[in-house]
Amino acid sequence: MAAPAPASSFATRLAAAVDRRGGAACVGLDPVLEKVPHRNGGDPVAAIEAFSLRVVEAVAGLVPAVKLQMACFERYGSRGVAAAERVLGAAGEAELLTIADAKRGDIGVSAAHYAAAFTAGPLAADAVTVSPYLGFDTLVPFREAAAAAGTGVFVLVRTSNPGGDDLQSLRTPGGGVAEVVAAGIERMNGGLQAGEAYGPVGAVVGATRPAVAEALRVRMPRSILLVPGIGAQGGDPAALSALFDARGHGALLTASRSVIYAEDPAEGARRLVAAAAQAADRG
């Protein structure tokens, strides 16, 4: 017997959450031990978990989503992964959509196992980030798992770090590498259900090059864009209005350090939501 269809898609849940909170904003949970104010007697896992939970509590009810940087937890082994599980769980209980920023990518059965890990079980999130470097066929298990579970996948397309130019700006017969990836993502979002504006496969497009982001939006009209680089990296929300549709949906602006290390993370979250609302002309 086929598994029952999910009650709603990630795109539908995200749109509803954005409408409730007033702006398409996401807070990145990137806890770095050396920056955590209270270190719990020298236990790094306890420190980053407690810090992350405080941020979750501070931003709950203010932003639609949080993005958990898995590397910040995985470096501490099994205890760190267990802490990530608890933080994801706490965020979900606080009615925050969760994105596991894992940037996974592999072939065949390995991709299927990665996809299963982030759509079911203790590491399950509303969406996961993935790398397309091994080819479009390696994204299929993630897309299939997301479609079945009602979750989302964000594929790295044009990242906010300057070094992304090393590969993402290279030219191919089909256009720039980022453009080729964008075209592949658009194909994967074919066959949307009635009433759905966006498919399960989204794209990571950095905020630091607004003109490039706008051009990629044109190539991926059916993808939600996860847009890092707001705040500490210098991305300007006001320059990103073209990434949103007329309802203020279609993109999710992400900030991490400027919110989580602020003296008042809740106030930082409010500012982020306000900036996202203004960018989407919701204010």
Q: Token pair of 156, please?
A: 């790295």
Which residues are identified as catalytic? 103
User: What whole-number distance in Å separates Cα of residue 270 and Cα of residue 153?
Assistant: 26
Pairing verdict, β 251-255 and 225-227: parallel
224 CB neighbour count, 10 Å cutoff = 28
CB 64 within 8 A of CB 97: yes
End-to-end, the C-alpha distance of the chain in Å comes to 47
Pairing verdict, β 127-130 and 225-227: unpaired
CB 62 within 8 A of CB 270: yes
CB 224 within 8 A of CB 259: no
Identity at 266, one-letter amino acid code? A
User: What whole-number distance in Å separates Cα of residue 145 and Cα of residue 92?
Assistant: 19
User: What whole-number distance in Å separates Cα of residue 32 and Cα of residue 25?
Assistant: 21
Q: Token pair of 8, please?
A: 């709603």
Rama region for 112: left / alpha / beta (φ>0; ψ in -120 to 50; rest) = alpha
Q: Among 129, 99, 259, which Cα is nearest to 204's?
A: 129
Distances (CA, A) of 146 to 73, 188, 203, 231: 23, 12, 14, 30
Pairing verdict, β 175-176 and 171-172: antiparallel
